Amino acid sequence: MKIHSFKTNESGLNRFFGPLEARIMHILWNGPEMAIKDVQARLAKEQAINFNTVMTVMNRLVDKGVLRKRAEGRVSLFQPTQSLEQFLETQSKELTNDLLEEFGPLVVNHMLDALEEADPALLEQLEQKIQALKKER
């Protein structure tokens, strides 16, 4: 399984995951390989949460292919299959492709408007990349 929906009304990891899933991924991405208990302990700092709840969700994340489970003696250790950077890289690439595929020229227009508003420096970056590409040919 994989991520197959990008939520437009959320932000950050919540765009790809449910709220609990997102918190779990956040923890695993900002720490070492962990057991369920460890993750639960972290989550419990904010508010009480049942061990089994965490386990179920973590196992679902394994099913989805975003976490890897490894048996270490009697406990299972979990870690993301991709680094956060890789994940964002993959997702943004996929989304960008999808967007172009779906909307083509329409997106090119919005791109610049959005780019300008968001961060004019990105416009520079864009232009330089275009120049670089042209030289290649």
Partner DNA sequence: ACCTCACACTACCTATTGTAATGTTCGCAA
Partner DNA sequence: TTGCGAACATTACAATAGGTAGTGTGAGGT
Residues that bind DNA (CB under 7 A): 5, 17-22, 35-37, 49-50, 52-53, 55-57, 59-60, 64, 74-76
Q: How far is the CB of 81 from its own copies (least distance, A)?
A: 18
Q: From residue 119, how far is each of 40, 89, 105 by CA, in Å?
A: 38, 19, 21
- Stated as kind and residue range, the H or E segment containing 71 is strand 67-72
The residue ranges that bind its own copies (CB under 8 A) are 2-12, 15, 88-89, 91-116, 118-119, 122-123, 125-127, 129-130, 133
- The smaller minimum CB distance to its own copies, of residues 71 and 133, is found at 133
Contact 66, 80 (CB under 8 A): yes
- Bridge partners (DSSP) listed for residue 75: 72
- The smaller minimum CB distance to its own copies, of residues 37 and 93, is found at 93
Q: How far is the CB of 104 from its own copies (least distance, A)?
A: 7
- Which of DNA, its own copies, none sits in contact with 28, Cβ below 5 to 8 A by type? none
Instruction: State how far the Cα of 48 lies from the Cα of 54, in Å rounded to an integer.
Output: 11
- Stated as kind and residue range, the H or E segment containing 79 is strand 75-80
Q: What are phi and psi of 104, to 5 degrees?
A: 50, -125
- The smaller minimum CB distance to DNA, of residues 15 and 99, is found at 15
- Which of its own copies, DNA, none sits in contact with 74, Cβ below 5 to 8 A by type? DNA
